[in-house]
Structure formats: C-alpha cells, structure tokens
Structure 1
Amino acid sequence: MKKQVACQYAIARFLPYAETGEFANVGIVIACPELGLLRVKFAPLRRTKRITDFFEGLNPRIYRESLRYLEVETSRIASSLKNGPAATKMAFEELTRPREALLRFSSARAILSDDPESTLQTLFEKFIERDFATKEYHEKILNKGVATILAGAALKNYFDPEDVGDEDFNVRFPFVNSLDGSPLIAIKPLHLAQDEPSKIMDHGSHWVARVARLKKHGNMPGNLLFAIDKSEKTKQQRVAKEIITDLKDLGAEVVRVDDERAIVDFAQRALDRGH
C-alpha cells in the first residue's frame, strides 16, 4: 500500500461580477509539502462557451486573458519553487492568497493522497468538468433566462424564490407569486435536454413526483408553469414528451423556455388578479 501524504488544494474561480458573487470553477492547484510538489490544472482556454453561457453578455476575451494571466503567474511561482516543505507551502500560499481580481482561489482544503497527480485529476473532474455538466448548472442558466424575460416585461418584482408546501413536504420554486403567504402562481424552468434519455426520465420524473405530492397534500399552486428546454433528437424528444404529458395531467402548464410570449402571458396573471 502506498504511503499517503497530507496535501492542500484550492479551486480557481472566475468571478467577473463581484457585486453578484457568482463564480465559475475553472482550475485546481494542489500542494504536497512533504514531497515538495506543487501542481495546477486549468480548464482549456478555448472552452469559453460554458463561461459566456453562464455569464450572459460577457466578452470571452476577458475570461481568456484572465486565465492566461493566472497561468503565467502560476508558472512564475512554480519556477521559483525551491526544495523543501516550507518552500512548497509558501508557494501555495502565495498563489492562492486573496486577491481583488477576476480570478480568485477558494480557501485551502486538506486531503490525503497516495498519488497527487491522480488526485489532481480527480479533483479537476469533480469541481470543473462536472461543474458545467450538472442539471443544476443548466437550470441555473434557464432561471437567468426566465428572469430576464420577466424583467423585460416589468414582472420580475412580482416573483420571488419560495418554498411551496407545508412542514411535511415542500418544494423550492425560483419564481413564486403569493398572496397572504399562499403561493398562487409559480414558474419552474426545467432542463429536459440531457444527452441520455434515461437522464431526462430521471430528472423529469423527479419533478413529476414532486408536483404529484404537492397536489396530494393540497399545496399545488393553482397556476403552475414549467418552462422547458428539450433536445431535438428523436429518442430524447420522446422521453421529454412523456414527462410533459405527466406534468400536464397533474394540472401544470408547459411551454418552451424560449417562448417569451407564453411566459409573459402566464406571469401577467400576477397583475390580472390585482396583486
């Protein structure tokens, strides 16, 4: 069995708009002082679409130049690294120190490793590769799109993120319009465009079950809209259609997330009831 050594790692984060606090994970640095080892791994510079999708309207050049600068800084620090635990620890601290910059590092975290190179790759896959592949990421993008549509129609202020349900069972919706504490109108962007049909079924069925439970408890909003995206591929469309049918059978309305007119017309009900 290989000997495990104590290491530290930190996550490089791209934060273009400090006022919002939103960031995207773009790299990993790991240091193992006992071995005198310092390694980094950044997302490829050419992969900017995921960043510009996440930060709508961002010039990709800003991201590329920021990451390129950090790579140069990392190379400078690594090249000046001297042997010994103390020097490695100092280099790690210098690289990850707090900065007022577009690229910053998370606080340091400890990890035991018997193969730091392999551990670096594992951490990269966990925090960077999967960071942009999860349904949560895609739905965050959809949420921002719906928020933009509502804002453009001067309706965003009528909606807030809220828990719908009771103490026994409740569900968080990103856009809810309530009266006297009772949710009357809710909108949920739903990602149904996964590459694999089984993933569409799993995620969609999860929300079908949630709505069914709310309805059973008498807590389903009278006006519930799912704004979906879906794949253009035949197999994926077939599965998405099944999920859509199930949601409609429960009394929810379903439109495409890019159907601005339908979303605005639905949200307009917040005004139509005089609230």
Structure 2
Amino acid sequence: MKQPILYSFVKFKPYIETGEFVNVGLLMCEPEKRKLTYQLVAKNDKRVNNFFYRSSIFNNIRDTINEELQYITSQVFNCTPQEMATFFHHYIDVKEGIVQYSNAAIGLVDDPQAYFNDLYTKYIHLAGVKPENQETIMVKHFKELFKAEDDVVLSNYRQHTVRGELAKFTLPLALKEENGQEILKAVKPLAFDQIESPSMIEYCDNWVSKINRANEEGLLKKENILFALDTADTANKINILNTIKKTFDNFKIQHIDWNEQNTLLEFAKNI
C-alpha cells in the first residue's frame, strides 16, 4: 500500500550576496507515521567544500545543523497526519540564513525509506560526480578479460607512458621492454563521447599523430598497436566511425570493433 511523504532538500547557502547554494542533506516527513527522517553529508564532503572555493564554513557549522535536525527528528509528535504535514511545511519555511530548505515535494510511495535513500543518492551523494567515461569502462572490461584468461603474457599488460623527445602519451594496456623504452604490444580503447562530429574526427587524428610520431622515434612499431573502437549508436556516428576507420587504414594502424574479443586476445598474446 502506497504511503504519502513530504520531503525537502537542506540547502547550504553561505554567501547571501551571490545566492549560490549546494544541497547538503535531505529531510523527509511521513505524516501518517508522525515521523521525520534526515541525512546530511559529511564535514569533509569535497563536492560541498570545493564548490565554495575550498571554504571551511560548512566544516565549521555542520555539527550545528546536524544537532538541530537530530533534535527535531527525535521528537514524539502527538497530532493528526494533517497537523504533522502542516508542521513540516512551517519548519522548512526558512528563507534567510546559511541553512535553508527547498519547497516541500510530495510523493506517494511503496517504501518511504527506500525512496528517501534513492533521492539522497541521486541528488546529493552522486550530484556533480562525473560518471565514468566509456573508455574507462572499456579498459576495465579488457582488464577483466585478460585476467580471466589466466595467461602469463596477458597478466603483464600495464598502463605505460610513451615518452620521447616529441611524443608523450599514456597507453592503458601495454607491454614494455623489461629494460628498455619500446612498447612491445598495446591495446588502446577508443570511444567517441564528443558531441560534434568534427571533435570526433579531431580526436581520432590526434591519436594517429601520436602513434606516427612515436613510431618515428622508435618508441613503438605501428603494427604492434591495436585500437578497439567503440560501437556507434546513431546513424551519424556510424558515418563518422567509418571515416575514422578509413583514416586508420590509410596510416596502416590496426583497429577492430571493441566487442571482437577473440581477435583482441589473439593480438595481445602474440608477441
């Protein structure tokens, strides 16, 4: 059976002049249970402190905010559900000061605590946190793939920096000479998260330039580098990806679709 809830975000607004704020907590009311629940971020939360130029203000007042919310949520309310809802609206009606509250939102949910946890995670805990990009996901996938093979050669693939007079870049999965500088083999995932088509082409050209320059300096051989290309998910990206493949072909740089795992493993093992 669904239950009604009210909730409000706790806003930290240290500089009234600018009006900027960051959500630091969540307060929920369950009128039928006469219950209040809250959660605040930690004192050293980087998202909060870095938002205001590494300010220490939140660190200094977080305990005060917590004590107030702890006090109010621990109260025993002997009232009707309507009176409980009214109390909640009046409590969050704070429009001045360092700590303010968003307007009350209403929900009708199966599990209030689970809903509360989801709201907190999505809008506070993970707010502003940049998700992993596709290339990072691809690298992790290949590392797991290599590990699962239980192969001596594959177990030696590491992240290595290619460094010469003119070339300097990092390869996430590479084999390097034990006492030298040359890259023996490398697999480089390539994803195209850029919004504009020219940026995708430029990203490809940048890597072609890096590989050619490193090849000229004797830091690696082009035939020992394999680019694993991300899957295109739109008609436009398919056209761009075909252009990128032609570019690699023109410069004799090997490439495969990233889901061609058998081809990738065969390449990586063959040294």
Q: TM-score range by the shorter chain?
A: 0.5 to 0.7
Q: Could you tell me which amino acid in structure 1 is paired with residue 61 of structure 2?
A: A
Alignment of 1:126-165 (within 5 A): 131-132=130-131, 137-155=133-151, 156-165=154-163
Shift of 1:218: 3.1
| 2:240 is aligned with 1:258 | no
State the alpha-carbon separation in 1 of the partners of residues 220 and 58 from structure 2: 56
| 2:45 is aligned with 1:74 | no
State the alpha-carbon separation in 2 of the partners of residues 87 and 243 from structure 1: 50
CA RMSD across the alignment: 4.0
Deviations 1:102-152 (A, max 9, x none): xxxxxxxxxxxxxxx9xxxxxx9xx955823xxx72211111011111112
State the alpha-carbon separation in 2 of the partners of residues 37 and 194 from structure 1: 30
Name the CA shift for 1:73/1:267 in 2 (closer, same or farther; >3 Å): same
Name the CA shift for 1:139/1:91 in 2 (closer, same or farther; >3 Å): same
Q: Could you tell me which amino acid in structure 1 is paired with residue 256 of structure 2?
A: V
Q: Does the 8 A contact of 1:193 with 1:231 survive in 2?
A: no
| 2:60 is aligned with 1:90 | yes
Name the CA shift for 1:93/1:206 in 2 (closer, same or farther; >3 Å): farther
Q: Computing the radius of gyration over CA atoms, which structure comes out larger, 1 or 2?
A: 2
Other-structure match for 1:209: 209
Name the SS of the counterpart of 1:210 in structure 2: helix
State the alpha-carbon separation in 2 of the partners of residues 95 and 183 from structure 1: 55
| 2:225 is aligned with 1:242 | no
Shift of 1:217: 2.6
Deviations 1:49-84 (A, max 9, x none): xxxxxxxxxxxxxxxxxxxxxx93129x9xxxxxxx
Name the CA shift for 1:92/1:31 in 2 (closer, same or farther; >3 Å): farther
State the alpha-carbon separation in 2 of the partners of residues 244 and 202 from structure 1: 13
Name the SS of the counterpart of 2:133 in structure 1: helix
Other-structure match for 2:166: 168
Q: Could you tell me which amino acid in structure 2 is paired with residue 32 of structure 1?
A: P
State the alpha-carbon separation in 2 of the partners of residues 227 and 153 from structure 1: 18
Name the CA shift for 1:32/1:227 in 2 (closer, same or farther; >3 Å): same
Name the CA shift for 1:201/1:94 in 2 (closer, same or farther; >3 Å): farther
State the alpha-carbon separation in 1 of the partners of residues 137 and 162 from structure 2: 22
Shift of 1:254: 0.7
Name the CA shift for 1:162/1:170 in 2 (closer, same or farther; >3 Å): same
